A and B are shown apart, each in its own frame.
Chain A
Amino acid sequence: MARYIGKRLLLLIPVLLGIALVVMIIIDITPGDPARMMLGAQATQEQVDALRDQLGLNDPLPVRYVRYIWNVVRGDFGTSLMSKRPVISEMMERFPYTVKLVTLGTAFSILIGIPLGIFAATHQRTWKDNTVIFISLIAASMPSFWFALLLIRFFGVKLRWLPISGVETWQGWVLPCAAMALGLAALIARQVRSDMLEVIRQDYITTARAKGLSEGKVIYRHALKNAMIPVIMVIGGIFGSSLGGSLITEVIYSIPGLGQYIMTGLNNRDYPIIQSGILIISTMFAVIILIVDVVFALVDPRIRLQYARKRKGKGEKQSEDKESKEVAAS
């Protein structure tokens, strides 16, 4: 297992190097001079040139890339052009907000999604099942920012139960997390339902029923455990993509998190923020996916065994396994 995790961590390095390169190229090929942006329209060409030199913008792309990576390795993620403060310390202040939002949002969606999915699967082809499916379809089709606004209007303005923005108190977290959780819960519920339906038809469930276990035990001890494996994959993906989705939620509820920080960076063309912000969020995303894969390998005895007897049938089996995961993930 340790070898598997080690290997995955090593594979992470080229991916992160690639992301840094991609972001740098994107910024490079788009028009707009950051030095000119910083100094404003009145600055003379000499001043702009001097600043370009000082920022090292005149060096060719490979030189800048290597320098950026070298700085990142030493913990220097650049300095914000606007606030003149190190990007990493500004990010660290905002980091807890985003983590809290994404974690709570995902936790909410799991708490709602899994029971709903089980409920729908155990009542297949009844009106209860149909209602759950229909509601989850609608929820998944709703723009989350629109739902967020409706929540504010109803609970914040009309009923005055909860604050409409800001997260100074715990009440402030309720609406943003609910807004994030809605679409995700719908996805989880649909996934749980279809996996449960697949598992319930298996022979070992019939066996469990035949030996006289109660229905609750059959569902929760035997079926759910097996149905959870693909669900964990989906939850990992959801957790990761909600990192991107937190952007809008943070803007709407004025949560001072990473998403809002990157938005300001984008609006001001503050390139160090854009570059390092995307790199850091992507790293978090990659680490989450890695954790999910490890958990996946731990809970699924079939995969665990495969890595245990890895030396025998290396090659194909692993790539085959990866293939099926990729398909499942997409």
Chain B
Amino acid sequence: MKIKSRKKSRLHEIWQQLKKNRLAVVALFIIILLILVALFASFIAPYPYSQQNAKLSNAPPSAEHLLGNDKLGRDILSRLIYGSQQSLSMGVIAVAIAATLGILLGAVAGYFGGWVDSLCMRLLDIYQAIPMFLLSVALAAIMGPSLRNAIIALGIGTVPGFARIMRASVLTVREKEYIEAARAINAGNGRIIVKHIIPNAIGPLIVQITMGIGGCVLAGSALSFIGLGVQPPIPEWGALISDARSVMRQYPTQALYPGICVMVSVLACNLLGDGLRDALDPRLKN
């Protein structure tokens, strides 16, 4: 009970800091809105995403179809709304995978030090020597194009950043008294890492996770754009841009909307990340 209330006050403190940054609050609001749109897409979208209407091929915006129709006569607004599900889940799940692996790797490397640390860091060196986007593209292509494989590829591609920050953070926590106390009461290494090291060292990762989601939405849309992510007819923002490419000459607005969606969500993540960094920075407190 006591622990719970303390946690609350810490969150409250961060919120108090964050509130001062108007842009970050707006960004948070946009992110919540996007998540709600994705969750309730089937209620909000006026039409099913794959409903075709040959008569309305490339139709301009009208009262029934607010953003017009694509070349197969599908309602663009509905496809954008459903697209948010795929695009956002790509970002969130990929970062969840990357952060989990990165936190474990970083915690183990930082906590044990010595040859374990050297081994992990050299592995990361190899990992990072392959440009991240190239690695994701190669993984996605070799595993076969699908949403699941694209998410795995993105997740695996972004592990090193998380692992390095976690390790640096663990190094500052490792020598604290409470770790020594845990060791003194004969807690095992696994318990110390999971119960004491990770919760205390995870702070600096919050910013990285927020911005990572934006980065993965961006990279995920690029994967779908080159046909390695979500497969048609399921809509995803990157895939929608790719669809609109063939009619770019006559109907450029079709490509405009999904790009704006990607941009706004990535921008919101970056702004919130910036805000959180300032809110978490003890130097800026008071």
Question: A149-B255, A266-B141, A327-B164 in contact; A15/B126 too (CB < 8 A)?
Answer: yes
The residue that B164 contacts in the complex, of A30, A245, A285, A330, with Cβ under 8 A, is A330
- Lowest 10 A-B CB distances belong to which pairs? A244-B131, A18-B126, A244-B133, A146-B259, A266-B141, A141-B266, A244-B134, A141-B267, A330-B164, A282-B130
What are the residues of chain B within 8 A of A153 when measuring CB–CB? Answer: 248-249, 252, 255
From A19-27, A89-97, A309-317, give the one contacting chain B.
A19-27
Per-residue 0/1 for A257-299: is the Cβ within 8 Å of any B Cβ (1 yes, 0 no)? 0000011001101000010001001100110000000000000
**Residues of A close to B132: CB separation below 8 A:** 241, 244
The answer to whether A235 has its CB under 8 Å from any CB of chain B is no
Size class of B's contact patch?
35 or more
Complex Cα distance, B144 from A181, in Å, reads: 31
State whether the Cβ of A50 lies closer than 8 Å to any Cβ in chain B: no
The answer to whether A143 and B226 touch across the interface, beta carbons within 8 angstroms, is no
- Contact check, A19 vs B131: say whether CB atoms are below 8 A apart: no
How far does the Cβ of B264 sit from chain A's closest Cβ, in whole Å?
A: 8
- A40 is an interface residue with CB less than 8 A from chain B: no
Partner of A266, one of B138, B221, B248, B249: B138
Looking across the interface, which residue of chain B has its beta carbon closest to that of A275?
Answer: B138
Please tell me if A212 contacts chain B, counting CB pairs below 8 Å: no
Complex formed: what's the CA distance from A140 to B274 in Å? 13
Cβ contact within 8 Å between A27 and B131: no
> Which of A141, A144, A285, A327 is close to B130, meaning CB atoms less than 8 Å apart?
A285
Q: How far is the CB of B239 from chain A (nearest CB, A)?
A: 12
Closest-CB distance, B267 to chain A (whole angstroms):
4
Within 8 A of B (CB), among A220-235: none
Does B245 count as interface, using CB distance less than 8 angstroms?
yes
Flag whether A9 is at the interface (Cβ < 8 A). no
A196 vs B248: C-alpha distance in the bound complex, in angstroms?
42
Of A149, A244, A286, which contacts B245 at CB under 8 A?
A149
Judge whether B111 is part of the interface by a CB distance below 8 angstroms: no
Task: Decide yes or no whether A43 CB sits under 8 A from chain B.
Answer: no
User: Chain B 108-144 against A: per-residue CB contact (8 Å), 1 yes, 0 no?
Assistant: 0000000000000011011101111111011101111
How many contacting A-B pairs (Cβ < 8 A)?
140
The docked-state distance in angstroms from the alpha carbon of A56 to that of B1 is 64
B129 touches A241 (CB 8 A): no
Contact pick for A247, options B127, B133, B160, B266, CB 8 Å: B133
Indicate whether A323 reaches chain B with its CB closer than 8 angstroms.
Answer: yes
**In chain A, residues 140-176, which have Cβ atoms closer than 8 Å to a Cβ of chain B?**
140-147, 149-150, 152-153, 157
**B residues at A contact (CB < 8 Å):** 122-123, 125-127, 129-135, 137-139, 141-144, 160-161, 164-165, 168, 214, 218, 221-222, 225-226, 238, 241, 245, 248-249, 252, 255-256, 258-259, 262-264, 266-267, 270-271
Residue A145 contacts which of B138, B144, B222 (CB distance < 8 angstroms)?
A: B222
| Chain A residues positioned under 8 Å from B266 (CB to CB) | 141-142
* Contact status of A326 and B131, CB under 8 A, knowing A22-B126, A149-B241, A248-B222: no
Q: Is the CB of A245 within 8 A of B267?
A: no
Kindly list chain A residues whose C-beta atoms are within 8 Å of the C-beta of B262: 141-143, 146
Q: Which residues of A contact B137 (CB under 8 A)?
A: 244, 247, 262-263, 266
Q: In the complex the two chains form, is A251's CB within 8 Å of B263's CB? A: no
Task: Find chain B residues with CB under 8 A from A26 CB.
Answer: 138-139, 142
Q: Does A138 contact B (CB under 8 A)?
A: yes
Cα distance, A245 to B168, chains bound together (Å)? 28
When the two chains form their complex, are residues B271 and A143 in contact, meaning their CB atoms are under 8 A apart? no
Given contact pairs A138-B263, A248-B225, a sample of 17 additional A-B residue pairs in the complex whose CB atoms are under 8 Å apart? A15-B129, A18-B123, A22-B130, A141-B266, A141-B267, A142-B259, A143-B259, A146-B258, A146-B262, A150-B252, A152-B248, A153-B255, A245-B133, A247-B133, A251-B226, A278-B138, A330-B165
CB nearest neighbor in B for A244: B131
Contact A278 B226 (CB under 8 A): no
Assess whether A14 is interfacial by the CB under 8 Å rule: yes
Q: A143-B221, A149-B245 are in contact. Are A247 and B142 (CB under 8 A)?
A: no
Taking CB atoms, residues of chain A closer than 8 Å to B129 are: 15-16, 18-19, 282, 285-286
Task: Give me 21 A-to-B residue pairs in the complex whose CB atoms sit less than 8 angstroms apart, sorted by A's number.
Answer: A14-B122, A15-B126, A18-B125, A18-B126, A23-B138, A30-B143, A140-B270, A141-B218, A143-B263, A149-B245, A149-B255, A150-B252, A241-B132, A248-B226, A263-B137, A269-B142, A274-B138, A274-B142, A278-B134, A327-B164, A330-B165
